[in-house]
Amino acid sequence: RPVGKDMVHALSTLPRERVEVACFSLNPNPKRGVQGDDTMKWHHMMVKACDNQFHDVSGVSYSAAAQQINEAKPNILINLDGWTSAPLINEIFILGAAPVQINFKGFAGTLGLPEVQGLVSDRVATPPEYQDYYTERFVMLQGSYHYNGHDHLYPQVHSGGMRLPPKSEVAAGKFSMYQAARETELLSERATRAGSVLVCNFNQFYKFVPEFWGLWMGLLRSHPDALFWLLSWTVAGKQSLLSHASNAGVPNEQFEFSTFFKEDSHVLAKGVCDLFLDANPYASHGTAADALYTGVPLLTAPAETMASRVSTSLCHATHQGSLLTSRNTQDYRDLAAALLSSPSKLRSIRQSNLGGGTIDATAAFDSKAWSLGFTTALSMLWDAFSSSPPSSPSAHPHIVTAGAP
């Protein structure tokens, strides 16, 4: 899910008696008749979330963009992209377009820029003892820093309580997005059989590295009833993975590929997965949140980097907690093997994860609590800067909001 869609709802939750929002976009505004209705809808929602102060700076140099931002006199400027897709954004921050500049959401890690003073995070994603590896000071939120907004994005998921569809409905294509340019791929009948365990990872293929792919293949070889469900991002990528699997001694019949699901129901469709096997060194972020929202047990493999720890942060902020957080590769393998051998254990964990239908009240999905913590952090950042000499270390302190250990 694009960061921009998350931010539509994240910005909308901020209390306007404490926060005024203005947005500067490096992407050109969409045009009616060129972009589709859905794109136009989201753009209008973003403009509204930005208090109608939405500025297109896509057609100017980074120095001109920095000047335009500076003339708007923001107290705090938030970098939502980092080194992800538009590195030019960092040139704007190097020029110091605002007195306080922070990194949030788009790039899970340090930007390595002294001009960016803060990194919005939490104690699991970036443990305090890792501070020396970051140029930013930590801005710690309680629970998970990762805004999800599922209560806004998918209100129908919890209307009347969690009701996951049977696997047969997913296999029948009830939730699939049909595209003229590509043949629709669905779950096979195998995935609906009693006794089969449907494990999944819905991340893009670039997150799969040889070490973890080999680990997964070993698990599939030793558990022939397990089926590995992936999204069919590209035909070439799918064929490459199947070729590597065959070379590892895993038959193609143990794989399930499906094309994309409808946006309003993809969380429900993916929720029929029995066990989500996360990756390392780049873990699931929004994809992990989607799985946890429907109670799917999520096995994580955190390392030292922030990018590898976001899914673990989300787990700790839900009912699952640290139950399926592996300590190392061998621990990951042992936990996965034990779970694949016990479908009843997987069902028990899912029931516990849903916690009687209170998933929206957990720290990972409570949008109101996140908004309060984020707003408090912004206020603390500005108060510290405005009450200290700019060159003083106290102008850019570490921030820990109430409730964060």
- pLDDT digits 0-9 by tens, 194-223: 889 999 999 999 999 999 999 999 999 999
Query: CA-CA distance, 29 to 48, in Å (whole number)?
Result: 14
Is residue 321 scored above 60 in pLDDT?
A: yes
Q: Which residues pair with 325 in a beta bridge?
A: 300
Q: What's the angle, vertex CA 189, arms to CA 184 and CA 194, rounded to 5?
A: 140
Evaluated on CA atoms 81, 85, 89, 94, the torsion sign reads positive
Question: Is the separation of the CB atoms in 141 and 121 below 8 Å?
Answer: yes
Query: CA-CA distance, 238 to 74, in Å (whole number)?
Result: 46
**Among residues 353, 350, 282, 351, which one has the least CA distance to residue 316?**
353
Sheet of strand 100-103, all strands in order from the earlier edge strand to the far edge: 76-79, 100-103, 118-121, 137-140, 399-400
Query: CA-CA distance, 188 to 165, in Å (whole number)?
Result: 16
Element housing 200 (H / E): strand 197-201
Structure token digits, residue 8? 């539509």
Q: Which residues pair with 119 in a beta bridge?
A: 103, 138
- DSSP assignment of 137-192: EEEEPSS-S----HHHH-GGGGTTS--PPPHHHHHTTTTBPPBTTB------GGGG
Is residue 405 scored above 50 in pLDDT?
A: no
Predicted confidence band of residue 404 (pLDDT cuts 50, 70, 90)? very low
Q: Which residues pair with 103 in a beta bridge?
A: 79, 119
Tokens 């820029």 belong to which residue? Answer: 113
Query: CA-CA distance, 318 to 349, in Å (whole number)?
Result: 12
Is residue 313 scored above 60 in pLDDT?
A: yes
End-to-end, the C-alpha distance of the chain in Å comes to 30
225-269 pLDDT, tens per residue?
Answer: 999 999 999 999 999 999 999 999 999 999 999 999 998 889 999
Q: How far is CA 359 from the centre of its chain?
A: 17
Question: Is the separation of the CB atoms in 118 and 82 below 8 Å?
Answer: no
**Predicted pLDDT of residue 159:** 55
- DSSP assignment of 285-297: SHHHHHHHHTT--
Tokens 């129908």 belong to which residue? Answer: 156
**Predicted pLDDT of residue 80:** 95
Mean pLDDT of 83-98: 90
14-54 pLDDT, tens per residue?
Answer: 999 999 999 999 989 998 888 888 889 999 999 999 999 99
Query: CA-CA distance, 190 to 254, in Å (whole number)?
Result: 9
Question: Is the separation of the CB atoms in 222 and 337 below 8 Å?
Answer: yes
Query: CB under 8 Å to 280, separation ≥6 — which residues?
Result: 209, 211, 212, 301, 302, 303, 308
299: which DSSP letter? E
**Among residues 400, 401, 402, 403, which one has the least CA distance to residue 128?**
400
Cis amide prior to 281 (ω within 30 degrees): yes
106-122 pLDDT, tens per residue?
Answer: 999 999 999 999 999 99
Query: CA-CA distance, 278 to 151, in Å (whole number)?
Result: 24
User: Mean pLDDT in the chain?
Assistant: 93
Tokens 């006794």 belong to which residue? Answer: 195
Is residue 81 scored above 80 in pLDDT?
A: yes
**Predicted pLDDT of residue 106:** 92
Question: Is the separation of the CB atoms in 259 and 232 below 8 Å?
Answer: yes
- DSSP assignment of 18-83: T----EEESSPPP-BTTB-HHHHHHHHHHHHHTTT-EEE-TTS-HHHHHHHHHHT--SEEEES-TT
Predicted confidence band of residue 78 (pLDDT cuts 50, 70, 90)? very high
Number of H helices, E strands in the chain: 14, 12
